[in-house]
Structure 1
Amino acid sequence: GVADDVAARTIRVSLGWNTRAQELERFAEAWASLT
């Protein structure tokens, strides 16, 4: 495991065999809008 303070600032992103490029692009756009 990791320390609680590190875990509290972590986002887990899971990809699978069925993940499409469009879904990755949508995630990247959403992530970029947060910063």
Structure 2
Amino acid sequence: MSEEGKSLTEIRNKIDDTYGGNGTPTPTPMPPAEK
């Protein structure tokens, strides 16, 4: 996805949307805010 020009936040949101319902998540911090 990063090769497609997606930001870290967009990638993280897609992962959360896709896999968010699959059990208890780990406490992985969100990527830093983009400028």
> TM-score normalised to the size of structure 2?
0.41
Q: Which structure ranks higher in relative contact order (CA pairs < 8 Å, sequence separation ≥ 6)?
A: 2
The structure whose residues are more often helix, as a share, is: 1
> TM-score normalised to the size of structure 1?
0.41
